[in-house]
Amino acid sequence: MKQVLSDLWQTRTDSPFPGLTTHAFLWTGRNALFYSTATDDDFPALEELGGVADQYLSHRDEAGPMLAKIADHFDSTLHAPVVELLEIGQHAHVDVPLGSRHVDVNGIEVIPTPGHSPGSTCYLVNGAEGSYLFTGDTLIRGDNGKWWAGYIPGIGDADALAASLRLLRTVNPDVVISSAFQGDSAVHRIQPGRWKDHVDEALDGLAAAVKDGSAGYA
């Protein structure tokens, strides 16, 4: 485990596909784990940090055998998009299906952002260092510094994704944490007044990708 903010820790790096890396993140403000891990190697470190009370998935691609292991080991509650229960439920019971924008009992704002997948969901928390936006694969900063939308032709819904990005444009986070990432880190501090520019960059890239039939990333 690596501490990335005063109340946020990331698990070791997983590489589900060549050129793509992921982490899960433990927010110790509520001992909530965002996304998921590929192994149980970090369980002892998670225990030292107080364990996992709740796990939040951003979309179905994060589902796998570790969901049940996390729930069994930590007696944690699984939160996941309701429209992807079929895929996620093959691996673990979803205790809290998510389908609408709201602030939950842990003070976490649930923001449905379909487009990358039908159930893609972002989460906003009030952390010790400002507001943290967990974007899953909906919005990612590439290793070239450009922000892009997680659009996959034939799988994603470009119109829905564009609408989701416009919604995220209104949020104004201090820190953005994606699931998949390129470069050295998935954690990015947002300079004051720059958030809308970053989202607009992703919207422009998405429009270009739709026009030429490519994936919406750099």
In the predicted model, what is the mean pLDDT of residues 68-72?
A: 97
Mean pLDDT along residues 85-110: 96
Six token digits for residue 83: 């429209």
Average pLDDT in the chain = 92
137, 180 Cβ separation under 8 angstroms: yes
Is residue 145 over pLDDT 80?
yes
- Asked, for residue 149, whether it belongs to a domain, the answer is yes
- Of the chain, the percentage scoring pLDDT greater than 70 comes to 95
Confidence at residue 218, expressed as pLDDT on a 0 to 100 scale: 43
Whether 216 shows a pLDDT value over 70: the answer reads: no
Greater confidence (19 vs 77) lies with 77
Asked whether the whole model's pTM tops 0.75, one would answer yes
pLDDT recorded at residue 130: 97
3 state SS for 137-196: CCEEECCCCCEEECCCCCCCCHHHHHHHHHHHCCCCCCEEEECEECCCCCEEECCCCCHH
In a domain, 75, yes or no: yes
Give me the residue label for tokens 């704002």.
109
pLDDT band with cut points at 50, 70 and 90 for residue 28: very high
Q: How many domains does the chain have?
A: 1
| pLDDT tens profile 33-43 | 999 998 999 99
Q: Which domain holds residue 162?
A: 2-212
> 54: which residues sit within 8 A by CB, 6+ positions away?
30, 31, 32, 33, 76, 77, 78, 79, 106
User: Could you tell me if residue 43 is inside a domain?
Assistant: yes
pLDDT score recorded for residue 212: 75
Do the beta carbons of residue 207 and residue 142 sit within 8 Å? no
Taking 80 as the threshold, does the pLDDT of residue 184 lie above it? no
With respect to residue 218, please indicate whether it lies within any of the assigned structural domains. no
Main-chain phi, psi angles of 102, to 5 degrees: -170, 170
Residue 182: the pLDDT is: 75
Look up residue 15 and give its two tokens: 């590489």
Domain assignment present for residue 179? The answer is yes
Q: Can you give the pLDDT at residue 170? A: 96
Query: Residue 84 sits in a domain of what CATH number?
Result: 3.60.15.10
Q: Is residue 217 part of a domain?
A: no
Confidence (pLDDT) at 56: 98
Residue 183 has pLDDT above 80, yes or no: no
**What is the average per-residue pLDDT within 125-150?**
92
Give the residue among 129, 161, 148 at the shortest CA–CA distance from 59. Answer: 161
Beta bridge partners of 111: 122
Residues listed for the chain? 218
Start-end of H helices in 16-110:
43-48, 66-74, 85-88
For residue 19, is pLDDT > 70?
no
